[in-house]
Amino acid sequence: MPEVKKIATREGYGKALVECGAKYPNLVVLDADLAESTKTAMFQKAYPDRFFDCGIAEGNMIGVAAGLASTGKVVFASSFAMFATGRAYEQIRNSVGYPALNVKIGASHAGITVGEDGASHQCNEDIALMRSIPGMVVINPADYIEAQEAVKAAIEHEGPVYLRFGRANVPVINDREDYKFEIGKGTVVREGKDVTIVATGIMVNSALEAAEKLAGEGIDAEVLNIHTIKPLDEELVVASAKKTGKVVTAEEHSVIGGLGSAVCDCLCEKCPTPVYKIGMQDVFGESGSAADLMVKYEIDGAGVYKQVKEFVTIQSQAD
């Protein structure tokens, strides 16, 4: 098997911003002293007149974004997920969400794959926070390719969007001719009949790895890529749940308030199905390499495999 290309989703963010800079003269990018890390520095270099570093002042950055957007600009405001959505939550809620302004929050360094910086910088709550704001679109791309398409779609979408990117290099899984991105439309990346793994972001790859291993043991897992957590592709989730009767959600995020909760919200109303949620089990992360952390918190391929297998075994005994 050829070596899988690995690139961080934040690289896709920076690349797409630069590409879109020419097409959209009203595109403006803001950062809060993390431009090199979030990759908005790529846009800064290409379009210095449309880039503003707001300094280490995330609340003001969101307000400035709102003011710019009120005049007709499409504004991306960037920081690490922790500070973009945590520090500036209320500014996003009141200055962007409530007036439904055309601001896109492009947050990098989400989840525990931030790695060595440790728990203070590993945001596992951003999806929960952003999902709770009325009208906010929440997108968590699976790879470098999807990250770029998500940025383009976010620009075309009128209104607030939260985009979640990661620090770590992750496998590129969508590099194919027929790849298409549509906000709110998930995809079946692997068909199966025994259990559904609903995955988002870098967990799509972990889910695919797990599915391969499960297949070797006679468990035929279906894998969904839910890049848009809000609005959730309920039709796809319900159809797959009906088919398999067992659902596992997988996210690099707390199991409280994220993809798992969104899927449960949907299924409990539309198709009650047993669900197991893989993710950060209501704990803070810690320092370590991204790879080691994924192993420890069981969100790598092996960890997903183990948890899905346990869940399927228990459910099968219950049947």
Residues of this chain that interact with other proteins (CB under 8 A) are: 28, 49-50, 52, 54-55, 57, 59-60, 62-73, 90-91, 94-95, 98-100
Q: How far apart (Å, rounded) are the C-alpha atoms in residues 184 and 100?
A: 18
Task: Rank residues 27 and 312 by Cβ distance to other proteins and give the closer one.
Answer: 27
Tell me the closest approach of the beta carbon of residue 78 to other proteins, in angstroms: 15
Catalytic residue among 11, 58, 222, 251: 58
Tell me the closest approach of the beta carbon of residue 40 to other proteins, in angstroms: 16
Tell me the closest approach of the beta carbon of residue 66 to other proteins, in angstroms: 5
Tell me the closest approach of the beta carbon of residue 64 to other proteins, in angstroms: 4
138 Cβ neighbours under 8 A, 6+ residues apart: 127, 130, 131, 161, 162, 164, 228, 229, 230
Task: Rank residues 98 and 302 by Cβ distance to other proteins and give the closer one.
Answer: 98
Tell me the closest approach of the beta carbon of residue 216 to other proteins, in angstroms: 54
Task: Rank residues 91 and 140 by Cβ distance to other proteins and give the closer one.
Answer: 91
Using alpha carbons, select from 145, 184, 144, 142 the residue that is nearest to residue 161: 184
Task: Rank residues 69 and 219 by Cβ distance to other proteins and give the closer one.
Answer: 69
Tell me the closest approach of the beta carbon of residue 94 to other proteins, in angstroms: 4
Task: Rank residues 30 and 197 by Cβ distance to other proteins and give the closer one.
Answer: 30
Q: How far apart (Å, rounded) are the C-alpha atoms in residues 118 and 53?
A: 25
Tell me the closest approach of the beta carbon of residue 100 to other proteins, in angstroms: 7
Using alpha carbons, select from 289, 259, 306 the residue that is nearest to residue 112: 289
Task: Rank residues 16 and 62 by Cβ distance to other proteins and give the closer one.
Answer: 62
Tell me the residue length of the chain: 319
Task: Rank residues 134 and 216 by Cβ distance to other proteins and give the closer one.
Answer: 134
DSSP 110-168: BSGGG-TT-GGG-BSSHHHHHHTSTT-EEE--SSHHHHHHHHHHHHHS-S-EEEE--SS
CA distances from 17 to 21, 257, 273 (A): 6, 29, 40
**Catalytic-residue membership of 158:** no
- What is the C-alpha radius of gyration for the chain, rounded to an integer number of angstroms? 19
User: Directed axis angle between helix 301-318 and helix 203-215, to 10°?
Assistant: 60
> What residues are annotated to the active site?
58
